[in-house]
Amino acid sequence: KAGVTQTPRYLIKTRGQQVTLSCSPISGHRSVSWYQQTPGQGLQFLFEYFSETQRNKGNFPGRFSGRQFSNSRSEMNVSTLELGDSALYLCASSASGSRQETQYFGPGTRLLVL
C-alpha cells in the first residue's frame, strides 16, 4: 500500500505570494491533518479534514486554509506569504480520525519564503 504523498517536496516563494500544497492520503483513509514544523515553534496543528469537512482547526491566521476532495486528497493554501511561513509542512492521514488510530505522515513540503 502506498504511503502518504505530498507535492511538491520543495518550494521557494517570495513575500506576498500565495502557495498551494497537496497531500494524497493512504488509500482508504478519509481523515487528513496538516501540521507546520519550524525550529522555533516546533510541530503545530493546522487543521483536520474528514469527508470534505473541516472538523478541527489550530490557532493560525485566516491566511492558512485548506480543503479536501471527494477522493480524500487534500490541499492547503497560504495566501500573502510572510517570511515566518517558511517551514516544513507535514500532512498525515488516518482511517477515520479516531484518537486511538495511528496517523501516518508524509515526507513533507519544505517551503522557503524570501
Partner 1 sequence: GDSVTQMEGPVTLSEEAFLTINCTYTATGYPSLFWYVQYPGEGLQLLLKATKADDKGSNKGFEATYRKETTSFHLEKGSVQVSDSAVYFCALIAGGYNKLIFGAGTRLAVHP
Residues engaged in binding partner 1 (CB under 8 A): 4, 31, 33, 35, 42-45, 48, 50, 55-56, 58, 90, 92, 94, 97-108
Nearest distance from C-beta of residue 41 to partner 1, angstroms:
9
Nearer to partner 1, 78 or 103 (CB): 103
Nearest distance from C-beta of residue 58 to partner 1, angstroms:
7
70 vs 52, 59, 94, 108, CA distance in Å? 6, 26, 16, 22
* Residue 3 CB partners (closer than 8 Å, separation 6+): 26, 104, 106
Contact 93, 101 (CB under 8 A): no
Nearer to partner 1, 85 or 97 (CB): 97
Nearest distance from C-beta of residue 16 to partner 1, angstroms:
28
Residue 36: alpha-carbon gap to chain centroid: 7
Nearer to partner 1, 14 or 38 (CB): 38
Nearest distance from C-beta of residue 44 to partner 1, angstroms:
8
| Residue carrying C-alpha cell 501540521 | 35
